[in-house]
Amino acid sequence: MRNVHKIILIIAGLVSAISPGAAQRASFVSTLGKDTLSFEQFERTRDSIVGDWVSLYGGIMVHHYVIQLRPDGSVRRYQLTLHRLSGHVDGSVDMQLEGDTAVVRDNRGEEQRAAVGAVFPTFTTSMGPLDLIVSRARATHADSSLTPTMSAFGPYRRGTMPVVFFSGDSVRFGNPQTPLYARVDADGHLLGMTARATTTRTEVRRVAPFDLASTLAHFPNIPDSVRIVGVPAISPRDTVRATIGDAAITIDYGRPAVRGRAVFSRGVLGDTLWRTGANAATQFVTTRDLIVGRDTLRAGAYSVWTSVSPDNSRYVLVFNSQTGQWGTEHHADRDVLRVPLSNERMSEPVERFRIRLLSNGSTGGLRLEWATTALTLPLAAR
């Protein structure tokens, strides 16, 4: 991926503004650190937006969308097809907005109806639909507005997307707790977007047009028979096990990669409370009581968090009684144990975060390794 990323860095400096002609074309590249995650190109006319968003994680998937617009710019019909490079279709949705009702059909021919009013369908962070929403919000000349939206693959109910303009060429939109930020031109068309305020932390840049097919040839693909994992493939799940004394210990966690980033900076990637991994919260299970540091951890299941001082001088491992939640959901009132971690520098960097359980009979340890930092904690049988 990194060789292609160098190509993208070159063409990223050739950004072309949207012209006021009949067709407006736009091309984007999404990256995480130094790695390229996706490409997108779309063409917008007065009555339609047609585009392809191609994701590269876990296998190459083309998301082809056609948005048909009414004369007032509202959405009349939204069609989205997910297919492999071979043309094999993995899923599709055809949404027609008729009055206050959305009629949705999938590739199996099943139909659903939802009374949602006039909405704007969205699919993750594909730029074509977002460009439509933000540019329409800009046309109102209001600093802030709420756009009615609905997810392309459900649940089929009406939501709202706040859109707030600031600093002339900047906009904030999406979930107010984890907003997306973007640069826009005078008409509100997207020039670039950052997800640094979310757990995704991707960057999207507007680039000069490029040949999508030849660019994708630089990336590895998988057979049609293999399921594309999608976003979780960015930080695959792993499990580590060990026995200390009579205690059987299991840790389940996501493994993010460095991707050229300074991961231990102002906390961990800017977070002073880290999920100790990625995606769903890290899970720690012990069948017997343990001595963790100098404290006792009772047998049971916990989520594990790492509290970090903003200057990265102190690290504390936090055991929380809530389990099974997403990795941004932490309730401090359910913390049961906080134990200081020792910090050491490793001579050989670790690209993908890993957790190690060390065992030597009735004693052992927990070791978190990422980049050139190792955080350690002694464990012992109770």
Reported as a single tens digit per residue, the pLDDT across 292-308 is 989 999 999 999 999 99
Confidence of residue 11 (pLDDT cuts 50, 70, 90): very low
Q: Is 272 helix (H, G, I), strand (E, B) or coil?
A: coil
The answer to whether residue 56 scores a pLDDT higher than 60 is yes
Residue 27's CB is within 10 A of a number of other CB atoms, namely 21
Per-residue pLDDT tens over the stretch 166-208: 988 999 999 998 899 999 999 999 999 999 888 888 999 999 9
Percentage of residues of the chain with pLDDT beyond 70:
94
The DSSP code for 333 is G
Whether 22 shows a pLDDT value over 80: the answer reads no
Q: Does the structure show a pLDDT above 60 at 4?
A: no
Element (H, E) at 215: helix 212-216
Which residue type does 143 have? D
pTM attached to this predicted model: 0.84
pLDDT of residue 12: 40
pLDDT at position 230, please?
A: 82
The pLDDT of residue 198 is: 86
Averaged pLDDT of the chain: 92
Q: Which amino acid is at 53?
A: W
Do residues 143 and 117 make contact, with C-beta atoms less than 8 angstroms apart? no
Pairing of β 273-274 and β 300-308: antiparallel
Mark residue 45 as left, alpha or beta (left: phi above 0; alpha: psi -120 to 50; beta: remaining).
beta
Residues ≥6 apart with Cβ < 8 Å to 8: 29, 31, 36, 205, 207
> Which residue has 């303009």 as its token pair?
165
CB 150 within 8 A of CB 122: yes
Residues shown for the chain: 382
Find the mean pLDDT for residues 81-104.
94
DSSP element (H, E) containing 49: strand 48-55
Please check whether residue 370 is in contact with residue 263, taking contact to mean a CB–CB distance below 8 angstroms.
yes
Task: Report how far apart, in Å, the C-alpha atoms of 61 and of each of 26, 124, 165, 203 are.
Answer: 19, 14, 33, 19
| 328 has a pLDDT exceeding 70 | yes
Q: Is residue 229 very low, low, confident or very high in pLDDT (cuts 50, 70, 90)?
A: confident
